[in-house]
A = this chain, B = another copy of it.
Amino acid sequence: MDRPEVRDLVYFVAVAEHRHFGRAAEELGMAQPPLSRAISRLERRLGVRLFDRTSRRVDLTPAGEVFLRESGKILTALDSGVRRTQQAARPRRLVLAAPAGTGVGLLAETLDAYRRGPDPVPVEVLFTTDMGAALRSGTADAAFMCSTDEFDGLDAVDLLDETPVALLPAGHPLAARDGLTVEELEGDELFRAQPPPVGLDELLDRIALGEFVVVLGASATGRLGSSVVAVPVLGVPSNQIVLAWPRATRSAPRDQLVRTAVAVASQG
């Protein structure tokens, strides 16, 4: 079986996205006729018609829609594979992703313990809101995540439980309470507002402004300031903080970091 080449996939994706050979060719920095031929060649190789085309319209066939999604997966796998390889080659270091705001607690202790441990390697911390994407793209080697995140393609170990706390603006009617139930929270209009996926600092600012209310793990309460109040939430399963990494990858320094994090979490 002769496989399509990467170049063919890139061309196909460009045409599929523009639904227009001329525009796609322009984006690819080439002329339109070779692009037409490349697509024909690809269709011939696959034995499948990918586009319904007239001189006025270009549309994906059902098979074309399938191939568009598959091409995306393949090119993503290719790019992350290249990135992981390049990471493995350059002077060993680890990239550890974490949600902004995790800094003070477990993260700092883990890094500290790791650097004192055997054969430490420079660790770079990448603060992001999408740790999963960072791992899957090969940008990060490991990441602190919540057990509620999406773990497809990832492996993970549990580190510790966090009792969930509600973060409320200081003046909120429930802010003076010692504990809240989920029912009480759900009655609150601010709780129903979807918080945007931003860093902890901005989140705190917006809570202080009374835009919404969120439930987080207790470790986020290190530096609330005076305008945001944390109140424990009762009757909710506690959040697990986990350390995750891309499945089916090997890295001795990363494994050492994972072991260190587990040790720190269990004795902290």
Across the interface, name the chain B residue whose C-beta is closest to A80: B70
Contact between A77 and B79 (Cβ–Cβ < 8 Å)? no
| A37 contacts partner chain B, Cβ-Cβ < 8 Å | no
Across the interface, name the chain B residue whose C-beta is closest to A92: B62
A107 smallest CB distance to B (angstroms):
26
Q: Which residues of B contact A7 (CB under 8 A)?
A: 5
**Complex-state Cα separation, A153 to B46, whole angstroms:** 24
| A250 contacts partner chain B, Cβ-Cβ < 8 Å | yes
Contact between A66 and B88 (Cβ–Cβ < 8 Å)? yes
Contact A48/B247 with A5-B6, A153-B153 known, Cβ cut-off 8 Å: no
| A65 contacts partner chain B, Cβ-Cβ < 8 Å | yes
Identify whether the interface residues of A are mostly helix, strand, loop, or mixed: helix
Across the interface, name the chain B residue whose C-beta is closest to A251: B66
Q: Which residues of B contact A66 (CB under 8 A)?
A: 84-85, 88, 249-250
- Residues of A60-84 at the interface with B, using a CB-CB cut-off of 8 Å, are 61-63, 65-67, 69-71, 73-75, 77-82, 84
**Complex-state Cα separation, A93 to B81, whole angstroms:** 34
Contact between A81 and B65 (Cβ–Cβ < 8 Å)? no
| A3 contacts partner chain B, Cβ-Cβ < 8 Å | yes
- Highest count of chain B CB atoms <10 Å: which of A5, A81, A248: A81
Q: Which residues of B contact A48 (CB under 8 A)?
A: 85-86, 88-89
**Complex-state Cα separation, A73 to B110, whole angstroms:** 32
**Complex-state Cα separation, A63 to B80, whole angstroms:** 13
**Complex-state Cα separation, A5 to B74, whole angstroms:** 12
Q: Other CB < 8 Å A-B pairs besides A48-B85, A70-B81, A153-B153, 18 of them?
A: A3-B75, A3-B78, A3-B82, A4-B82, A5-B5, A46-B89, A50-B85, A62-B88, A62-B89, A63-B89, A65-B250, A66-B249, A73-B248, A74-B74, A74-B78, A77-B77, A152-B152, A152-B247
